Amino acid sequence: MQGSVKLGTLVGIDIRLHYTWLLAIFLIAWSLALGYFPMSGAALGPVTYWVLGLVAALLLFASVLVHEVGHSLVAGARGQRVDNITLFIFGGVSNITRERVTAKDEFLISVVGPLISFVLAGFFWLIGLLLPAASAPNAVAGYLAYANLLLGLFNVVPGFPLDGGRVLRSIVWGVTGDMARATQVASYVGQGVAFLLIGWGVLQVLSGDLFGGLWIGFIGWFLNSSAEGSRQEATVHRVLAGVPVTSVMDFSPVNLSTELTVGEFVLEHVLQHGHRALPVVDNGRLVGIMSVTDAKHLNQDAWATTHVGEVMTRMPLKMLSPDADIATALHLMVENGLHQLPIVRNGALVGVVSRADVMGYLQSGLGRPQRGSDKMEIMAARPQSVPAH
């Protein structure tokens, strides 16, 4: 997810934080400090309520992370590659590259998430029973039990891209044998759930609950956008799957020598021809990519004396073989925020495919869809309404 930074690594998976995560932490802590904890029976001061709110918000996201790790571990056990887990304002998302995935894989990967949330809810509920009533730790445990229960129940809802929607898709996929058809069904159900949430949010706002109504409405808007995007992606994938990348790639791409200076790259290729990134070749073999970003990392005074080979982005790079299809290329570019991919055979550069090449193919009519033809957890908890243990 663009706009995120790496926090660390857990069980071999990169954990990333999106900048909107900070806003989520503040909103949850704020609602708990002003609403839930003052009403929990723990007679403490405003500063303590804010500290408890911050601790509870962080522990809630830790629960979301455990939920996502569960998805990722099952995905890894089923032979899928997990690139990272990103926490953001609405919860978390596992970036799972589903290679040769089956309906059974999808079902197992998806169903484990809500189960983990229910287990966590029970765990925090038991902790609350062991703690003194009307105490600060009891109030935190009570909130986390409720929030995890709500997270599990919400993700059971059969609306794509929630876990329940992915379970629904896996079932329809298993029955029909058509993943695109299953995605279409699950996404329409997901949009139905999204519109219900938006309507509920509007009613909450009209009844005076501005914060709760806006939160629910934004979740509905997010679900609707995700469901519609997933359906469109499935349609495009159906059109592009099986079409070799060699059908659209540039067989004679502009490439750079490692001995070219950064100044020459900027002047001759960036300014004159508008290239933002080009492959770098040495003795016929791909050795890196030189981009405008790489040049910006270098002081402009050194452009004339620094060679491309010294500052380029080196191997390993995101790339494909000529045997790959266009659907795989487009997915790889979108998932990694890339505009082009080198096509390599036995280490030698044989071509480059770009997003523009794919769009040109679709717009040409050759890839026009015919008529009929990564997993997310959303936090919907409203903290201020949580009952204490």
Q: Where is 352: in which H helix or E strand?
A: strand 348-354
- Is the per-residue pLDDT at 171 higher than 80? yes
Number of Cβ within 10 Å of residue 274's Cβ equals 7
Q: Using pLDDT thresholds of 50, 70 and 90, give the confidence band for residue 383.
A: very low
Residues 6 or more apart in contact with residue 75 via CB below 8 angstroms: 82, 94, 96, 105, 109
Digit-coded pLDDT (tens) for 260-284:
999 999 999 989 888 888 999 998 8
- Is the per-residue pLDDT at 243 higher than 50? yes
Q: Which of the two residues, 115 and 318, has the higher pLDDT score?
A: 115
Q: What is the mean pLDDT of residues 218-238?
A: 83
- Is the per-residue pLDDT at 250 higher than 90? no
- Is the per-residue pLDDT at 96 higher than 80? no
- Is the per-residue pLDDT at 385 higher than 80? no
pLDDT at 35: 83
Q: Which of 68, 228, 259, 335 is catalytic?
A: 68
Alpha carbon distance 302, 110 (integer Å) = 51
Q: Using pLDDT thresholds of 50, 70 and 90, give the confidence band for residue 388.
A: very low
Digit-coded pLDDT (tens) for 186-216:
999 999 999 999 999 999 999 988 878 888 8
Q: CB of 265 within 8 A of CB of 308?
A: yes
The mean-pLDDT minimum among 11-20, 39-48, 79-88 falls in 39-48
68 is catalytic: yes
- Residue 118 token pair: 């229910």
Q: Is the pTM of this model over 0.75?
A: no
- Is the per-residue pLDDT at 151 higher than 90? yes
Q: CB of 324 within 8 A of CB of 241?
A: no
Q: What is the mean pLDDT of residues 112-128?
A: 96
Q: Using pLDDT thresholds of 50, 70 and 90, give the confidence band for residue 68.
A: very high
pLDDT at 136: 87
pLDDT at 99: 54
Q: Which DSSP category does 319 fall into? A: -
Q: How far is CA 129 from the centre of its chain?
A: 36
Q: What is the mean pLDDT of residues 322-331?
A: 86
Q: What is the mean pLDDT of residues 351-363?
A: 86
Q: How far is CA 152 from the centre of its chain?
A: 19
Q: What is the CA radius of gyration of the chain?
A: 25
Alpha carbon distance 367, 240 (integer Å) = 7
The mean-pLDDT minimum among 119-133, 264-278, 322-336 falls in 322-336
Highest mean pLDDT among 40-44, 201-205, 337-341: 201-205
Digit-coded pLDDT (tens) for 100-113:
678 999 999 999 99
pLDDT at 365: 60
pLDDT at 389: 40
Q: Using pLDDT thresholds of 50, 70 and 90, give the confidence band for residue 377.
A: low
pLDDT at 327: 85
Q: CB of 345 within 8 A of CB of 116?
A: no
pLDDT > 70 fraction of the chain, expressed in percent and rounded: 92
pLDDT at 98: 59
Q: What is the mean pLDDT of residues 353-378?
A: 64
